[in-house]
Amino acid sequence: MSRHGLKEVVHVVVRGRVQGVGFRYHAETVARRHGVAGWVRNLPTGEVEILARLDDARKAGFLAEIRQGPPAARVTGMEVGPAPPGMTPPAAGFSVRF
């Protein structure tokens, strides 16, 4: 448990113009600013996937910045839910996966 609350693992799929616009690096910067552990990667479907471990107090701010995206992106949808079975983010650090 952190001083902000329990850590939660969330799975995020972001839709729209989110590939080829620096979205993964934006997500990495946002995650580090919010103290979020996990990873981000492009999906072959044109979406971006994020698996994140974060505490309750930081969840809303992190997701709001992800939804905003970098200047060249246009987010048209975002699904947030629990991590699928077998998907576990690291306990610390955030990375861009290829």
pLDDT tens-digit series, residues 7-24: 899 999 999 999 999 999
Cα-based distances in Å from 8 to 29, 31, 68, 79, 83: 19, 14, 22, 16, 9
Residue ranges per domain, the chain? Answer: 1-19+26-49
**Calpha distance 20→38 (Å, rounded):** 21
pLDDT in tens, 22-64: 999 999 999 999 999 999 999 999 999 999 999 999 999 999 9
Active-site annotation, residues: 24, 42
Q: What's the confidence (pLDDT) of residue 5?
A: 61
As a whole number of angstroms, the distance between CA 69 and CA 23 comes to: 6
**What global pTM score does this model have?**
0.93
Q: How many CA atoms lie within 13 A of 19 on its CB side?
A: 12
80-97 average pLDDT score: 95
